[in-house]
Chains A and B, each alone.
Chain A
Amino acid sequence: MKSEEIFEMFNDIDDSFVDAAFPNEEKSEVVQPQEIHMTKRHLPWGIAAAAAACLAVCAAVGAVIAVNIGKGKIPVVPNGPTQSSLNTIAAEEIYPGYTDSELPLTFTIEELGILQYFQIRNDKTIMRLSTFDMNIDGWGVFSNKVYVRSVYLCDLNFDGYREIAAAVTNESGEKSVRVADVRNQKEYEYKVEGYESRWHYDSLVLKDKKLYLCTADGSHVSKETLSFDDLELVVDKIVEPVVTDQKIESAENDKVRLSVGIPKSEYKKGEIIDLTAEVYNKSDKTFYIVSPTSTREAHLDIKTVISLGENKLVDMDEVQFGNDMMEYIPVNPGELYTVVRRFDTSNAEVGVYGVFSTVIVTDGFNADVTEDVTVKFQIEITSGASDEPATDPVTPDDPSESTEPEPLSSVFENDKLRLQVDLEKYAYKKGDIITVDAEVTNKSDKKFYIFVPTATADTHTEIRTNISLDDRKLNDIDAVRYWDDAIKLIPLEPGESFTLKKVRFDTTYTGDELLGISNQPVQSGIYQGITTVTILDSPGFETPAESYYTSFAISIM
């Protein structure tokens, strides 16, 4: 889709949004100016004094409002509400004892019952307590006489309890952010100083300020970037590995960062390859790592495959059995999930191996949509076998297994359907034919229809598979090179399956004749595959189409 098409598509957004966004000039013109007739009258001194006092108060209030508007604290929306859309409440309403000289430090914030006082819309880490400035004279863990501009509850040290964070100004006028860790009776202060931290327009921006260690064992540190966005305190959490000799390869999306520590890029045959893989939750919501243990390899939480052509290294920690359960591993905001994988090179062929680690995450147990992130890199196994035996040689139960190509399966499953994709192996040489089998099974107790946007029987659009590296897409050999405007629906009764067998992809050339792209030689690398099925609940298109997909990765050497 092109930008122009997206812009054009926006034309159909809800009328109410269109109406609300635009200043209502027409209505403002309806209001006619009023003539004001002033008559000079004498007031008694007492009333005049009272009026003067009122004026002074009004002027002061007006000044405060003007300052706040100038700072963007009160969103000014013509003909719109003048309040923030955030649920805000004054701190004293939340915690009546906040002005006391001592906080009951033996209790956690939750135990104090603070959180029950305001509506929690979701499990956001950051919660603003007040939009009003407060003058607090000695606030427990805070120092004396600070002018608290705004107060937030946020879990800044990932201990599962929210700390009190406040933007404050002290008597000298210095601005800073202070964090009171009530549970641990600690106070942190981050002064606004240097080029890393500054007041930017109306926002306090703290750049690259290290707030705390992320993990207790010190293996990782975290960096925080604090900023005030509108009326919210924004904390962008960035976790970086400690300084290490290991090379780190990472891949990420908006939610997940997957990092793999690589001790070295070259191994002698017989050595153990020891890789550490980590999943970090970058978002402000808990997600779940999906571990489909029903397959033979039970270590699919962070699946790591090292292969050369058809040969795959033996995962020494691999569990050779599983059950039918899908395992969901929760990862809270800011948390790390780490696994260590050891691979045996005893029976490995010499050469450059492709390594890819993949994690699949979902928002919840019942979420239909999963996301995956894959880290790709290469390591080399050399022939100069070490004179010394491997530190921990492990021979697989059946050595022949390590040379046999392992089949690759990828499954999406929910209450409604199961979508399974099977490939013969993970790794291919250029010129190989990739053969994909795909099957959709109706798991529900109702009939549904597979949506096929063409009348042609063999375009593989019943279950669509794309395999690509960046913008290079492998050619589907069996695809029919024409389309028409008709559609068809394939009914699927409860328990019934629809299967597409042996859809072939060429690994010699990429390109798409249909799109008029000329063929280009296939490049080596890790290719991403995605298989999608679209279904309708009824044949009459009364229900919206739902698409489900499962993804996989293959290596072309």
Chain B
Amino acid sequence: MPFMEDTEIIRKFMERSDTAVGELQLKYKNYCGKIAMNILNSHEESEECVNDAMMRIWELIPPHDPKSLRAFLGKVTRNLAINRLKKLTAEKRGSGEITAVYEELSELISGKADIEQQYERSEIIREINAFLSSLPEQNRNIFVLRYWYCDSVKSIAETLGTNENNVSVTLSRVRKKLKTHLRKRGYEI
């Protein structure tokens, strides 16, 4: 059976249909599971996180009427996974790909920012979006897969039909470019 169209799923949520969560789960369980698993590195935790995300969507739609259901759901899952990770880290649990991602992202930190330089998060996001728009599609996808989906370098290489070395080199260059892009615009993060 083909999956239900996103617009139809959203309509079901809007109408508070009993089958809305089921349809959402059917179509996007794997997608959310991958996001959660990449961050949490635990099947048990990921499963709970995905369930939470599905229920959270029930609370969010309505009032929200997302343009892209998948991205919306992905962001909710990612946020819940990050929150769960924080809790696990406090309990000295959790590891995996996220550790490597954090380490790579530390390259973006200039160390110059101090407590007086509290930029508006929305300003930085706007600059990051502008930067991503300027990237070739392949490089942008590599960056998003790594730092949004927390995907492993190997998995990205397989997904995009390239090799791991190419992915690593691209990530390194894009990180440097992003840091320069932000710094040129007065943002030291």
A residues in contact (CB < 8 Å) with B: 1-4, 6-23, 25-26, 29-30, 32, 69, 72, 75-78, 80-81, 84-86, 200-203, 229-230, 254-255, 363, 369, 371, 453, 461, 464, 466, 468, 471, 473, 512, 514-515, 530, 532, 544-549
Q: Chain A residues near B103: list those with CB within 8 A.
A: 3
Say yes or no for B28: interface residue by CB 8 A criterion. yes
- The B5-32 residues at the A interface (CB cut-off 8 A) are 27-28, 30-31
Bound CA–CA A23/B145 (angstroms): 10
- Nearest Cβ distance between residue B15 and chain A, in whole angstroms? 22
The 6 closest A-B pairs by CB, nearest first: A76-B161, A15-B71, A21-B144, A3-B102, A85-B136, A3-B105
Given contacts A8-B82, A30-B2, whether A3 and B106 have CB atoms under 8 Å apart is yes
Q: Do residues A75 and B148 form an inter-chain contact, with CB atoms below 8 A? A: no
Say yes or no for B42: interface residue by CB 8 A criterion. no
Q: Do residues B102 and A7 form an inter-chain contact, with CB atoms below 8 A? A: yes
Closest residue of chain A to B2 (Cβ to Cβ) is A30
Bound CA–CA A2/B163 (angstroms): 30
Closest residue of chain A to B179 (Cβ to Cβ) is A254
Total contacts A to B, CB within 8 angstroms? Answer: 182
Bound CA–CA A363/B181 (angstroms): 12
Q: Do residues B74 and A18 form an inter-chain contact, with CB atoms below 8 A? A: yes
Q: Do residues A75 and B113 form an inter-chain contact, with CB atoms below 8 A? A: no
Q: Chain A residues near B72: list those with CB within 8 A.
A: 15
Q: Chain B residues near A23: list those with CB within 8 A.
A: 159
Given contacts A15-B68, A81-B137, whether A72 and B144 have CB atoms under 8 Å apart is no
Closest residue of chain A to B166 (Cβ to Cβ) is A72
Q: Considering residues A18, A371, A466, which has the most beta carbons from chain B within 10 angstroms of its beta carbon?
A: A18
Q: Do residues A85 and B176 form an inter-chain contact, with CB atoms below 8 A? A: no
Cβ 8 A contact of A471, one of B70, B79, B111: B111
A-B contact list, 12 entries, CB within 8 Å? A3-B101, A4-B86, A7-B82, A12-B75, A13-B144, A14-B132, A22-B149, A75-B137, A86-B136, A363-B184, A466-B114, A473-B114
Bound CA–CA A78/B145 (angstroms): 13
Closest residue of chain A to B120 (Cβ to Cβ) is A545
Given contacts A80-B137, A201-B165, whether A6 and B109 have CB atoms under 8 Å apart is yes
Bound CA–CA A546/B126 (angstroms): 13
Q: Chain A residues near B118: list those with CB within 8 A.
A: 453
Q: Do residues A4 and B102 form an inter-chain contact, with CB atoms below 8 A? A: yes
- Nearest Cβ distance between residue B87 and chain A, in whole angstroms? 13
Q: Do residues B128 and A13 form an inter-chain contact, with CB atoms below 8 A? A: yes
Closest residue of chain B to A483 (Cβ to Cβ) is B115
Q: Chain B residues near A453: list those with CB within 8 A.
A: 116, 118
Given contacts A10-B147, A25-B30, whether A72 and B163 have CB atoms under 8 Å apart is yes
Q: Do residues B180 and A26 form an inter-chain contact, with CB atoms below 8 A? A: no
Bound CA–CA A81/B126 (angstroms): 25
Bound CA–CA A21/B135 (angstroms): 13
Say yes or no for B90: interface residue by CB 8 A criterion. no
Extra inter-chain contacts (13) besides given A9-B121, A453-B116, CB under 8 Å: A1-B113, A13-B128, A13-B129, A21-B141, A22-B74, A30-B3, A75-B138, A75-B160, A85-B136, A230-B166, A461-B116, A473-B114, A545-B123
Q: Chain A residues near B132: list those with CB within 8 A.
A: 13-14, 17
Say yes or no for B92: interface residue by CB 8 A criterion. no
Cβ 8 A contact of B169, one of A77, A229, A371: A229
Q: Do residues A6 and B108 form an inter-chain contact, with CB atoms below 8 A? A: yes
Q: Chain A residues near B144: list those with CB within 8 A.
A: 13, 17-18, 20-22
Q: Do residues A9 and B148 form an inter-chain contact, with CB atoms below 8 A? A: no
Given contacts A12-B125, A13-B128, A471-B111, whether A72 and B141 have CB atoms under 8 Å apart is no
Q: Chain A residues near B184: list those with CB within 8 A.
A: 363, 369, 371
Closest residue of chain A to B85 (Cβ to Cβ) is A4
Q: Chain A residues near B141: list those with CB within 8 A.
A: 20-21, 77, 80
Q: Do residues A25 and B31 form an inter-chain contact, with CB atoms below 8 A? A: yes
Closest residue of chain A to B74 (Cβ to Cβ) is A18
Given contacts A4-B102, A7-B102, A7-B147, whether A200 and B124 have CB atoms under 8 Å apart is no
Bound CA–CA A30/B75 (angstroms): 24
Bound CA–CA A466/B114 (angstroms): 9
Q: Chain B residues near A6: list those with CB within 8 A.
A: 105, 108-109, 189
Bound CA–CA A238/B172 (angstroms): 19
Bound CA–CA A6/B180 (angstroms): 16
Closest residue of chain A to B129 (Cβ to Cβ) is A14
Q: Do residues A75 and B161 form an inter-chain contact, with CB atoms below 8 A? A: yes
Q: Do residues A15 and B3 form an inter-chain contact, with CB atoms below 8 A? A: no
Q: Considering residues A21, A473, A514, A544, which has the most beta carbons from chain B within 10 angstroms of its beta carbon?
A: A21
- Nearest Cβ distance between residue A346 and chain B, in whole angstroms? 40
Cβ 8 A contact of A7, one of B101, B120, B128: B101
Bound CA–CA A69/B160 (angstroms): 11
Bound CA–CA A2/B111 (angstroms): 10
- Nearest Cβ distance between residue B128 and chain A, in whole angstroms? 6
- The B58-84 residues at the A interface (CB cut-off 8 A) are 66-68, 70-72, 74-75, 78-79, 82
Q: Do residues B115 and A21 form an inter-chain contact, with CB atoms below 8 A? A: no
Q: Chain A residues near B147: list those with CB within 8 A.
A: 7, 10
Bound CA–CA A546/B184 (angstroms): 12
Bound CA–CA A471/B109 (angstroms): 13
Bound CA–CA A14/B133 (angstroms): 9
- Nearest Cβ distance between residue B102 and chain A, in whole angstroms? 4
